Amino acid sequence: MQTPAQIEFEGIQASAELRSTIDQLVTRLETRFDRVTVGRIVVRGPGEHHQTGGQYQVSIRLTLPDGRAVNVARTPKEDGRYADINFAISDAFKRARRQLQDEARLMRGDVKHHAQR
């Protein structure tokens, strides 16, 4: 990344272990696509809202060349696995990796476009 990733924690205490885990996952993303220019990761603790109470939310925003971006900000409702912060972080980075791969294919022109009728 051209700029170090911004990591923010809201509603939870930032631990060295969590920061280390996130840094490792960011490094893995960079090995797949080294042209990421800016990254921002926000980890939110369980809210008091009835729809998402007890679940961690992880948002990832990666900025790519040519004004492209990868945004991961969705947490499935009523999925008990998101009560585990490590699962929530891992799942968000898996989704970011898939979206990053799709954007890289588009940028390389590897996606087949159908002819207009």
CA torsion angle 19 21 26 27 (round to 10)? 110
**117 inside domain:** no
Q: Nearest to residue 74, comparing CAs of 86, 87, 62, 91?
A: 91
Number of domains in the chain: 1
Locate tokens 């990868």: which residue? 70
Instruction: Tell me the pLDDT tens digit for each residue of 71-116.
Output: 998 777 778 888 899 999 999 999 999 988 888 787 777 766 667 7
CA distance 24 to 68: 23
CA angle 107, 109, 105 (to 5 degrees): 55
Find the domain containing 68 and state its range.
6-108
pTM above 0.85, yes or no: no
Binning pLDDT at 50, 70 and 90, where does residue 4 land? confident
Instruction: Tell me the pLDDT tens digit for each residue of 38-74.
Output: 889 999 998 665 555 588 999 999 988 877 888 998 7
Residue 81 sits in a domain of what CATH number? 3.30.160.100
